[in-house]
Amino acid sequence: MAHVQVYEPFRRGLPKVLPYFAQVWRRRSFVAEYSRSYLRAQNFGSLFGQLWLILNPLLLAFVYFLLIIVIGGDADGKRFAHLTSGLFLFYLVTNAVTIGAKSITSGGKLILNSAFPRFVLPLSATVISFFRFIPTLVVLAVISAFLASPWSVNLLFLPIILLLVLLLALALALLFATLNVYFRDTKNFLPYVTRAWLYLSPVLYESSALSPALAPLKFINPLASFIDAWSGIIVNGIAPSATTWLLMIGWSLGLLFISLYLFLSREREFALRI
């Protein structure tokens, strides 16, 4: 039996969730091909393209490490391992946010000429960021082997943390994609927002080094608990505490729920505003 697509007058409100995500699932091959085409355009398929994905955050880590030495006067291998692991994870999220913010507005022709769940565009941005993150895991494994504590069974927690990070990245991609439709300058402010976010995250420092006055940053910064858990396992072999797990799950699932509601409830208005 052939499927018939019925177009109804625009109105805000959530679509039927199960049929909607059934459509998303049927378009998984589109997400994969769309992500691959974006990566090919960025020379991801070439050796030098993949090397740059590693060298860019690695060179930034060296610069920040030298800055820490100049300001603090002392730093060791574990500090560099923490800095590198935190930067790699930070850029996984911010790349998804940056690409996701432009996913709806830059896909205007596709949206106007095709009927498909718009959710697949921010989802593709998250997939792209994940594929760009994969090569950095090799460098991170080498740095961890030589500069961090011996590997422990707690490394098994890393895939779970990575999954929660990807959910957070998807949530932020959805949120900023929606904002950029209504406020086109959102993408122009993002570089400043992400730079400030980096300095407020426990990447250049560890959360334990925060003064009591700044301790709330660990709870109000969505990425703080993720970086603490990620670095704690890689650098020191320490499993996340129960509080850290609750923060990670709360931020990823809570923000995803809010972003999904905002995105899906206004999705049918996007074509009118592009």
Range of the domain at 27: 21-206+213-273
DSSP 221: S
Q: What is the pTM of this model?
A: 0.88
- pLDDT of 49 reads 65
Average pLDDT per consecutive 10 residues, the chain (274 residues; last block may be shorter): 52 78 92 86 66 75 74 71 89 94 83 83 94 87 80 91 97 95 87 91 84 84 94 91 96 96 89 74
- pLDDT of 250 reads 96
- pLDDT of 258 reads 96
Residue 6 lies in a domain: no
Residue 198 lies in a domain: yes
Distances (CA, A) of 133 to 96, 147, 172, 195: 11, 21, 17, 19
Residue 187 lies in a domain: yes
Residue 15 lies in a domain: no
Rounded CA gap, 239 and 167, in Å?
20
Residue 2 lies in a domain: no
- pLDDT of 113 reads 75
Residue 10 lies in a domain: no
Closest alpha carbon to 62 in 85, 84, 86: 84
- pLDDT of 196 reads 92
Q: Total domain count for the chain? A: 1
Residue 257 lies in a domain: yes
Residue 162 lies in a domain: yes
